[in-house]
Amino acid sequence: MPGRLEGRFALVTGAGRGLGRALALGLAREGAHVAVHYRRSAEGAEAVARNIRELGRESFTVQGDIARWDDVRRVVEEVFGRFGRLDVLVNNAGDMATDQMSWRDLREDVLDRILLVDVKGTQLMIHEVGVRMLEQGGGSIVNIGSRVVVTGSPRAPQYAAAKYAILGLTKSYARALAPTVRVNAVGPGFVETETTLGREDWRSGRREDILGQTPLRRIAKPEDVVPAVVFLASEDARHITGAFLLCDGGMSMVGA
């Protein structure tokens, strides 16, 4: 049976490893041709693109630092040049202070990098792709946020601030690009990527603490976030824009 994104063209940022890798492969399994963006994970990105081509889809890698506008323009121009159009953009690339255990450990270089990538980078990608989607007559943008916007983060306030900004960008561009382009966000909780599994606190009890606070009593794998993104990217969500979909096992339940 054809997938929900059959014949669509997609770009996933930060897709060389972790969640981005799972998202790129998940879109391809739903029928999309996928451009695999990376900044430093060249080997991983090439492997993802190869896996996508093995599924019978078109795929290639594209490198760039999304915190630099010139890089963003070049990336977007290359993707549109090779695909001819872009139906789905997934803004997954983002930094976080994985080694920060307390707000007292704040460093200016970490603060600057997180805000540059998560906020500036996401806005530049939405801006450049959104304009072209308007011109082509349609498209869907899905931003990867975080459940941290519900609870805040005493460990890394700058990370929470950046993810709150993702919500502002999502809602602002959902209005600006309507009715032609839909813009939504997904808020994963803790996801067991390579980075998460390598954290010292994760190996010394934090995983069990998080598990105990999660109603579904499981920690997400990267593949568990894919269905939410596919849903928002597809025509199944044709009447949804400016929305924020939590995907955290119920850990951050909010009222209506």
Is 4 domain-assigned?
no
Q: 81 is in which domain, residue-wise?
A: 9-247
Domain at 230, CATH number: 3.40.50.720
Is 252 domain-assigned?
no
Is 14 domain-assigned?
yes
Is 2 domain-assigned?
no
- Tell me the backbone φ, ψ of residue 59, rounded to 5 degrees: -160, 150
Which residues carry out catalysis?
159
Is 254 domain-assigned?
no
Helix or strand or coil: residue 190?
A: coil
pLDDT band at 2 (very low <50, low <70, confident <90, very high): confident
Cα pseudo-dihedral 237, 159, 114, 26, rounded to 10: -30
pLDDT at 205: 82
What does the alpha-carbon distance between residue 183 and residue 90 come to, in Å, rounded to a whole number? 10
Is 255 domain-assigned?
no
Is 77 domain-assigned?
yes
Please state the domain count of the chain: 1
pLDDT band at 102 (very low <50, low <70, confident <90, very high): confident
Of residues 17 and 103, more confidence is placed in 17
> What's the whole-number mean pLDDT along residues 49-67?
98
Is 88 domain-assigned?
yes
| pLDDT beyond 90 at 74 | yes
Q: What value does the CA radius of gyration of the chain take, rounded to a whole number of Å?
A: 17
pLDDT at 110: 87
Q: What are 148-179's pLDDT values in tens digits?
A: 999 898 888 999 999 999 999 999 999 999 99
| pLDDT beyond 90 at 54 | yes
| pLDDT beyond 80 at 218 | yes
| Tokens at 71, concatenated | 């890089």
Q: Output the pTM of the full model.
A: 0.94
Q: What are 104-129's pLDDT values in tens digits?
A: 888 898 899 999 999 999 999 999 99
**Identity at 122, one-letter amino acid code:** T
> What's the whole-number mean pLDDT along residues 191-218?
85
What does the alpha-carbon distance between residue 48 and residue 17 come to, in Å, rounded to a whole number? 8
